[in-house]
Structure 1
Amino acid sequence: MRIAIVGCGYVGSALASHWHQQAQHWLRVTTTRSERLVELAPLADDVQLLDAADPDQLRQALETTEAAVFCLAPGGSRQVDADGYEATYLRSMEAVAAVVPQLPGLHQLVYTSSCSVYGEATGLVDETMPPQPLEPHPRILRDAEELLLGCRAPHRRVAILRLGAIYGPGRELEPRFRSLAGSRRQGDGSSLISWIHRDDVVMALAWAVEQGFDGLINLVDDEPISVRELVDRSCRAAGLEPVTWDGDITRPAEGAGAPTGRRISNRRLRELGLELQHPRLPILAALLDPGAELQPPS
C-alpha cells in the first residue's frame, strides 16, 4: 500500500519506524521542519517539507497515495493558545476537505484526535456520546473532526482515534510528576486522566490503515487514574515530599484533567480485537505485581 504520514513528531515518526521495519508499504512522510528531513529520510521512501494547511502542498503530498495518516501537533513544548490550535488542526482539516475530491485514489484517512472533545460529559463515555466541549481547544478539535468526517464517500473511509494523554519513551510520567514534590496544588486532584502508551497508538494506527477501518475509537488504556493518585504515588515511590492539596473546587484547573467522575470507555477497542501492550500505567502495574517496583531516578 502507498501511505502518507502527515506530521512526523512523537507519534508519526514512531509509526514511520514501525512500517519501515515491516517493509510492506511504500511510505511518504512529512514534516514542518527542514532540519528533520535528514533524520526522517531513512524511515521512508520519500520525505517532504509540508505545511498541511496549504492545499497545494497537501495535494502534492497526497498524490499517488492510497491512505493518509494525520498525526498533527503544534510545534514546540509550550502550551499552545487557541490560535495555534486553529492553525494546526482546523486549517489543516479544511485543506484536506478541499483537496480529497481531487484525489480519487486516496481511499483511507486516519486522524489522531483527543478524548478532550467529550468536554463536560460525565459518567462512562463511549464513542456514541456526542462531543460537548466548552473550552476553545477541544471545540477546535471537534470542528476538525467534523471536517474530516465530511470527507467520507462510498470509496473513502475515515477513521478517527480519540487519544488519551500520551506517554512512552522519552515521555515517562513519573519524573514529570515527581517534580511537583512538596508543592501546593489547587483543588483536590480527583479528576481522572485516561492515558495511552505511544506504542499502542502506533499499533492502533497501523491496524486502522491496514484493516480499512471506518469510524471512531477511544484509544485509552484500561485504568484511568486521578491526578492526585498519580502525583502522590510518584512522589512516594521516589521518597520525596508529598503534594499538599487545597481542597475541593467546582472546576479543575486547566490541564488538571477531565471533569470528576468522567471515565473514558475503551470497550470498542476490545470488541475490535485490539490488545494493548500497555493496559495500565507502570505505577499501577507495580501495585498488581510487587516484583515490578518503580525505581527512583538516579
Structure 2
Amino acid sequence: MKLLVMGAGYVGEALLRYLQIQKHKIFITTTRKERVNALSYYGHSVLLPIEDKEFKELIDSCDGVIILIAPKNLQSYKEVYLQTAKRVSLVLKDRQTPFYLLYTSSTSVCEGQQNKWVTEDRVLCPKSENAKILLEAERSYLNCNASTCILRLGGIYGPKRELLDRVKHFSGKKMLSSGEEFTNHIHLEDIIAAIRFCLDHSLTGIYHLVNDDHTPRRELYSHLCQLAGIPSPIWSKDSSKSSYKVCNQKIKSMGFIFKHPRFKQMI
C-alpha cells in the first residue's frame, strides 16, 4: 500500500516508526526543512510544501493518506486545518480508484456540552472559532471522494509528554476554572495502535479516541502534584467551563482494545 503521511510531529514520527516495519511505501510531508534528512529514514520520499499540481500527482500515486498536521508558530487553525482539508478534497474530486483517508481531529469539537456523555452521533455546536474550524474540516473530509475515517483525539500524553510535566507548569498558579471539569486523555501508544487498527480494518466514519478515565482536572492535578511533592494549582470558584465526558464505546465495539485505559497504569 502506498501511503502519504502528512505531518511528522509527536504523533507523526511515532507512527512512521511503526509503518517503517510494515510493507507500505511511505511518502512524508513536513514543513520543516531541517527535518528532511532525519525523516528520510522512515519513508520512500520526504517532501517540503509543494505546488497543487505536484500535490495532485502525489495523491494520485498513493492508495491513502494519513493527515496528522498541527499549527506551527503563528499559523492559524484556518490556514492549517481548513485549507488543507479543502486542498485534499479538491485533488480527490475526480479520482476514479478507491482511496483511504484518515484524519486526526480533536475532542475539542465537543466543547459546549455540559456534564454529558458525548457520542459520535451527537450534534455539535462549538462556540470557539478554533473548534468551529476543526468541525468544518471534519465535514470537508467526510464529504470528499474517499473512504474517510476521523479519529477525535483527547489530550495526548506519553513519552516526553507526560502529564506530570504539564502539571508542574501549573503548580501553585491561579487557574481560571474550578477544576471540576472532566478530563479526556489518550496515550500515544493507543493513538498509533488505533491508526493501525483503522488501516487494517478499513474503518470509516468518526471515532472518539480517549481512555476510560475521566478524572476531574482538580483531582488529577492534585494527585500528581502530591506525588511530585509540589504545590497544587489554585482553583477558582468559577464552574462555568463546559464539562463533558467523551465516550469511546464506538471504537471498542469494532474490536479495538486500549493498552492504557486508565491513569492508574501511569501514576
Q: When the two structures are superposed, what TM-score results if normalisation uses the length of structure 1?
A: 0.84
What does residue 5 of structure 1 align with? 5
- The whole-number CA distance in structure 1 between the counterparts of 2:125 and 2:98 is 31
Letter in structure 2 aligned against 1:56: K
What does residue 289 of structure 1 align with? none
Kindly indicate whether residue 56 of structure 2 is the aligned counterpart of residue 74 of structure 1: no
Letter in structure 2 aligned against 1:171: R
Letter in structure 2 aligned against 1:69: I
Q: Alignment partner for residue 128 of structure 1, among 121, 144, 150?
A: 121
Q: Which moved more, 1:204-213 or 1:67-76?
A: 204-213
Q: Which moved more, 1:225-234 or 1:101-110?
A: 101-110
Q: CA deviation at 1:238?
A: 0.9
Asked if the contact 2:12/2:68 (under 8 Å) is kept, the reply is: yes
- The whole-number CA distance in structure 2 between the counterparts of 1:144 and 1:94 is 8
Kindly indicate whether residue 153 of structure 2 is the aligned counterpart of residue 171 of structure 1: no
Q: Which moved more, 1:97-106 or 1:218-227?
A: 97-106
- The whole-number CA distance in structure 2 between the counterparts of 1:142 and 1:45 is 32
Q: Which runs of 5+ in 2 are unaligned?
A: none
What does residue 256 of structure 1 align with? none
Letter in structure 1 aligned against 2:72: G
What does residue 99 of structure 2 align with? 107
Q: Deviations over 1:201-231 (max 9, x none)?
A: 1111122122211111001101122221122
Asked if the contact 2:20/2:43 (under 8 Å) is kept, the reply is: yes
Q: CA deviation at 1:242?
A: 2.6
Q: Give SS of 2:40's match.
A: helix
Q: Alignment partner for residue 83 of structure 2, among 59, 81, 91?
A: 91
Asked if the contact 1:58/1:95 (under 8 Å) is kept, the reply is: no
Asked if the contact 2:109/2:135 (under 8 Å) is kept, the reply is: yes
Q: CA deviation at 1:244?
A: 2.3
Paired residue total: 266
What does residue 26 of structure 2 align with? 27
Q: Deviations over 1:1-22 (max 9, x none)?
A: 111111111111111110102x
- The whole-number CA distance in structure 2 between the counterparts of 1:13 and 1:131 is 31
Letter in structure 2 aligned against 1:140: I
- The whole-number CA distance in structure 2 between the counterparts of 1:150 and 1:242 is 45
- The whole-number CA distance in structure 2 between the counterparts of 1:202 and 1:58 is 25
Q: Which runs of 5+ in 1 are unaligned?
A: 253-258, 287-293
- The whole-number CA distance in structure 1 between the counterparts of 2:203 and 2:248 is 16
What does residue 150 of structure 1 align with? 143
Letter in structure 1 aligned against 2:61: T
**222 and 6 in structure 1: CA distance in 2 versus 1, 3 angstrom threshold:** same
What does residue 229 of structure 2 align with? 239
What does residue 55 of structure 2 align with? 58
- The whole-number CA distance in structure 2 between the counterparts of 1:6 and 1:106 is 19
What does residue 274 of structure 1 align with? 256
Q: Alignment partner for residue 227 of structure 1, among 204, 213, 217?
A: 217
Q: Which moved more, 1:26-35 or 1:98-107?
A: 98-107
Q: Give SS of 2:41's match.
A: helix
Q: Give SS of 1:5's match.
A: strand
Root mean square deviation, CA, Å: 1.7
Asked if the contact 1:3/1:65 (under 8 Å) is kept, the reply is: yes
- The whole-number CA distance in structure 2 between the counterparts of 1:55 and 1:213 is 28
What does residue 197 of structure 1 align with? 187
